[in-house]
Structure 1
Amino acid sequence: MSERFVVLTGGPGSGKSTLVEELEEAGFARSDEAGRGVIRDQMAIGGPGLPWKDPDLFAELMLSWELRSYGLAASSGLVFFDRGVPDIVGYLRLEGRPVPAHVMEAARAFRYHRRVFVAPPWPEIYRRDEERRQSLEVAERTHASMVETYREFGYELVELPRVPVEERVRFVLDALDRG
């Protein structure tokens, strides 16, 4: 099953979600990014599970979101994930927070395709918004943390080129065909 689950990761504002949306337009199943989803939900209810209020609670809510997304994807064919469980490990490390044993276990147990696509920092397209409050410098550090974390979990990293989204779609599909 895990070979059908393809992760796109990297720092915020590097075109991951746009690429996942374009892959969905091409007919593939996808997951929604946990971080943005949790932030949107918590802001709507005035909840405390926000990265700028309670990073540990935010991480737990993202873990729950990712595990549910993984389970829902089990009945689909090829699924593109806008981040995966290891991203939570990378996030906690980036924030200088301890990584609970159950989060490490989830990252080991819930596996994805061996090739993980990494969107590099892309200053020309980076934009802050209500949910993305990080600076470009933090986005670059996030990218580095995700690269280190996915490598630690044994994934083969494939850097996405900084090209228009249609070309990124072709790049991803070609890389999966070769793998």
Structure 2
Amino acid sequence: MIELKENNNFYVITGGPGVGKTTLLEELKRRNYEIVPEIARELIKEQQKDNGKALPWENKNLYKEMMFDRSISSFEEIDKNANKENPIFFDRGFLDTVCYAELIESEISEPMKSYAESWRYNKNVFMLPPWQEIYETDNERKQDWKEAVLTFERMSETYKNYGYRIIELPKISVSKRADFVLEFIELNRKKSTTR
């Protein structure tokens, strides 16, 4: 049985590929907020460097398993060592791997389901919508536009199915997006302390 962990200061920033997540997280880091880098991108870079097989275009299941395990390890490490007062921003969460498993029609194991139900981020998940004007592919991001839109839709469904509330970010400058996120968090903190 996996123990329940609820971290109201852990915020997920997610969405399909190429929607400006990493740019937004870099802006939040520049403003002195702690960020947790995307596991998938790090894993792909490492596997490419080492001629590994855990790649979404090589061995999807191995990639899924390694990505999930590392996401859980990352969550656990931050949970042990983080300052619990300030927001911590995750570039994707382990539920993104659950969504990926659904997209590739791969098994979602019992441990994956248990962690998804028992280890909780803040109930508000920041979702960046598809934005064709800024979308581009690179060495780690090979999905086409249609796949990017589908990923966004499935990601929204996955998080909602696990009880999260989707906060869709507007298509505005990165600085204004960061302001939006921080103002939303501050407003919700005030609401919860006045109840």
Question: Is this a same-fold pair by TM over 0.5?
Answer: yes
Where 1:124 maps in the other structure, the secondary structure is: helix
Contact in 2 for aligned 1:85/1:110 (Cα 8 Å): no
**Structure 1 residue 35: Cα displacement:** 1.0
Q: Quote the Cα distance in structure 2 between the aligned partners of 1:178 and 1:55.
A: 40
Where 1:3 maps in the other structure, the secondary structure is: coil
Q: Any residues of structure 2 matched to 1:27-176 within 5 Å, and which?
A: 27-74=32-79, 75-77=81-83, 78-176=87-185
Q: Quote the Cα distance in structure 1 between the aligned partners of 2:70 and 2:185.
A: 26
Q: Quote the Cα distance in structure 1 between the aligned partners of 2:119 and 2:18.
A: 25
Q: Quote the Cα distance in structure 2 between the aligned partners of 1:13 and 1:110.
A: 27
Q: Quote the Cα distance in structure 2 between the aligned partners of 1:10 and 1:156.
A: 13
What are structure 2's unaligned runs of at least 5 residues? 1-5, 189-195
**Structure 1 residue 76: Cα displacement:** 2.0
Contact in 2 for aligned 1:86/1:150 (Cα 8 Å): yes
Q: Quote the Cα distance in structure 1 between the aligned partners of 2:95 and 2:44.
A: 19
Instruction: Give the equivalent residue in structure 1 for 2:18.
Output: 13
RMSD: 1.0
Q: Quote the Cα distance in structure 2 between the aligned partners of 1:136 and 1:73.
A: 33
Q: After the TM superposition, which of the residue ranges 89-98 and 122-131 deviates more from structure 2?
A: 89-98
Runs of 4+ in 1 over 3 A off after TM superposition: none
Q: Quote the Cα distance in structure 1 between the aligned partners of 2:59 and 2:159.
A: 24
Q: TM-score, normalised by structure 2?
A: 0.89
Percent of residue pairs bearing the same amino acid type: 37
Where 1:27 maps in the other structure, the secondary structure is: coil
**Structure 1 residue 47: Cα displacement:** 0.5
**Structure 1 residue 72: Cα displacement:** 2.3
Where 1:69 maps in the other structure, the secondary structure is: helix
Larger Rg over CA atoms:
2
Q: Quote the Cα distance in structure 2 between the aligned partners of 1:160 and 1:110.
A: 24
Q: Quote the Cα distance in structure 1 between the aligned partners of 2:94 and 2:104.
A: 16
What are structure 1's unaligned runs of at least 5 residues? none
Where 2:125 maps in the other structure, the secondary structure is: strand
Q: Quote the Cα distance in structure 2 between the aligned partners of 1:41 and 1:158.
A: 32
- Residue deviations 1:121-166, cap 9 Å, x none? 0100000011000001101110011000000000011001111100
The code of the aligned residue for 1:3 comes to N
